[in-house]
Amino acid sequence: MDKLIEQFSIGLFFWQTLLFIGLVFLLKKFAWKPILDAVNSREEGIKDALEAAENAKKDMQNLQADNEKLLKEARAEREAMMKEAREMKDKMIADAKEQAQAEADKTIKQAQATIESEKNAALADIKNQVAGLSIEIAEKVVKEELANKDKQLKLVEDMLADVTLK
């Protein structure tokens, strides 16, 4: 270090300082400004990219919220449709049961009416047969009773005795 102080020259120092200042000036004018511009531009690009990423993140969150909302609405709509379908099914089953019951009741009433009419026809036929048989029996009894003259007179007298004049 002593050697440096001994060899110190003011002229050399002046020229070195002048060259250094010139170099700094040239660097500032031609190098620093483009370098700083490039760094600032890069910094702006990074800032814009971060901003865009943040906006994209917010958009993604909004889309996710919208998707969740749509899914909830779709689920609610599906549940409503399923409930409506179940109600329609239950109503159709109830209507079918009611209609089947009505048909069964109608068939039973028709069968009962048919049975009643068949029963009445059978009773009428039996009455006709009984009446016919009764007439035949009475005819035979009367023929036998009336074949004898004494029996005829006695029958007429008994009948007249039963009849009273009013």
Mean pLDDT, the chain, integer: 87
Is the pTM for the entire model greater than 0.85?
Answer: no
State residue 36's pLDDT score: 82
Residue 139 — very low, low, confident or very high, per pLDDT cuts 50/70/90? Answer: confident
Which DSSP string do the residues of the chain spell out, in sequence order?
-HHHHHT--HHHHHHHHHHHHHHHHHIIIIIIHHHHHHHHHHHHHHHHHHHHHHHHHHHHHHHHHHHHHHHHHHHHHHHHHHHHHHHHHHHHHHHHHHHHHHHHHHHHHHHHHHHHHHHHHHHHHHHHHHHHHHHHHHHHHHHHHHHSHHHHHHHHHHHHHH----
Residue 32 — very low, low, confident or very high, per pLDDT cuts 50/70/90? Answer: confident
Of 152 and 35, the structure prediction assigns the larger pLDDT to 35
pLDDT in tens, 69-112: 999 999 999 999 999 999 999 999 999 999 999 999 999 999 99
pLDDT surpassing 70 at residue 164? no
